[in-house]
Structure 1
Amino acid sequence: MRRARSILLVCALLFVPAAGASQGLPAETLAYAPQMRPLGAGPMRWFGLRLYDAELWVSGEGYAPQRPHALALRYQRAIDAGRLVDTSIDEMRRLGAGDETRLARWREELARAFPSVQPDERIVGLHLPGRGAVFWHQGRLTAEIDDAELARHFFAIWLDERTREPALRARLLGEAAP
């Protein structure tokens, strides 16, 4: 049951509308990385339920983990902030993010970044490799996190080859049809 809940929650995690329905990034995001462009998008489903639509924005020709990139998630379901944070931490742990002391510290950082979400609300996360990440909810800045390792592990939830959702990863990277 805990594993199923974790899968549901990670899927309910961050960010934009379905492929082809891009709404763009908040102007503030583009201030950090003005050359961002959409690369790929797709829906996250769990047992047939659409949890959110995700979109990956990149700087450059394609995705490169060492260049700034952003994930935008538009939620289709109401999800409590605590669940968003817990699921993120569970997935980072599964991907080998580190010891429990580090994860506890990261939990506090992510709690600042993620409010509870309602259907049709959006969270955008910008990964600044080597520096950290910046998060917005409905276009409003929620957190600037100056921890490069936390940011790297957080975005790996969707972009690492070991993601729980390889089909969504392929869509985000523009390797599969939306």
Structure 2
Amino acid sequence: MKKIAACALLACVTATFLSKPVQGSETTPLPGTVLAGQGTMRFFGLEVYQARLWVSPGFAPERYGDQPLALALTYQRNFTAQAIAKRSIEEMRRVAPFSNEQAERWQAALQAALPDVKPGDTLTGIYRPGGGAVFRMGDKVVGEVADPEFARLFFGIWLSPNTSEPALRQALLASRNTSGSP
């Protein structure tokens, strides 16, 4: 089991992304937003998760931290909240530096906010600029991290130009990348 989890976590670093329709409802999880893009992450040919991004009209990718948005991940593998939180902190460090104290606090808060996931589960993160992040499974709020800096860096995992996965970023921002810029 640990070997499978380690391989799945490595997917965040070496995945490939495909722009294909994602299963599930296309109803916006955040009023006033529209679907911007979607992508499927694969690792060694195995689907890890499917991602969809909803943004407000006029959304500017270079200022993602200033605008509300929703990011839904439909998992195709089992992951514990602990594994998701740990990997998220590692990826957030690519977006911007932060202290070890912040990392410990944020990892504990994220782990407490997230459920374990299994194939078919959709976890949706709602970004509230200046207010933090709310996490939902279906229509139910499962947790929240009310730290604006955490939330900006967390969503930067997918939306920052410093992301470790530029192909997924491009797929998620497909309808917003009209100038060809990153």
Under TM normalisation by the shorter chain, which class is it? Answer: 0.7 to 0.9
Alpha-carbon distance in structure 2 between the residues aligned to 1:11 and 1:68: 28
Percent sequence identity over matched residues?
Answer: 39
Contact persistence 1:69–1:126 (CA under 8 A): yes
Give the TM-score normalised by structure 1.
Answer: 0.82
Alpha-carbon distance in structure 1 between the residues aligned to 2:125 and 2:79: 17
Alpha-carbon distance in structure 1 between the residues aligned to 2:14 and 2:68: 23
Contact persistence 2:92–2:157 (CA under 8 A): yes
After superposition, the C-alpha distances for 1:47-89 in whole angstroms (9 at most, x for unaligned) are 2211000000001133441110110000011112111111001
Alpha-carbon distance in structure 1 between the residues aligned to 2:8 and 2:130: 32
Q: Determine the structure 2 residue equivalent to 1:88.
A: 88
Q: Determine the structure 2 residue equivalent to 1:137.
A: 137
Q: Determine the structure 2 residue equivalent to 1:48.
A: 45
- In the alignment, structure 2 segments of 5+ residues that lack a partner are none
Instruction: Please state how far the C-alpha of 1:45 moved relative to its aligned partner.
Output: 1.2
Q: Where in structure 2 are the equivalents of 1:91-110 lying within 5 Å?
A: 91-110=91-110
Q: Where in structure 2 are the equivalents of 1:59-98 lying within 5 Å?
A: 59-63=56-60, 64-65=63-64, 66-98=66-98
Instruction: Please state how far the C-alpha of 1:106 moved relative to its aligned partner.
Output: 0.4
Give the TM-score normalised by structure 2.
Answer: 0.80
Q: Determine the structure 2 residue equivalent to 1:112.
A: 112
Alpha-carbon distance in structure 2 between the residues aligned to 1:36 and 1:62: 9
Contact persistence 1:6–1:90 (CA under 8 A): no
In structure 2, relative to structure 1, the CA distance for the partners of 1:43 and 1:123 (3 Å cut) is: same
Alpha-carbon distance in structure 1 between the residues aligned to 2:172 and 2:10: 19
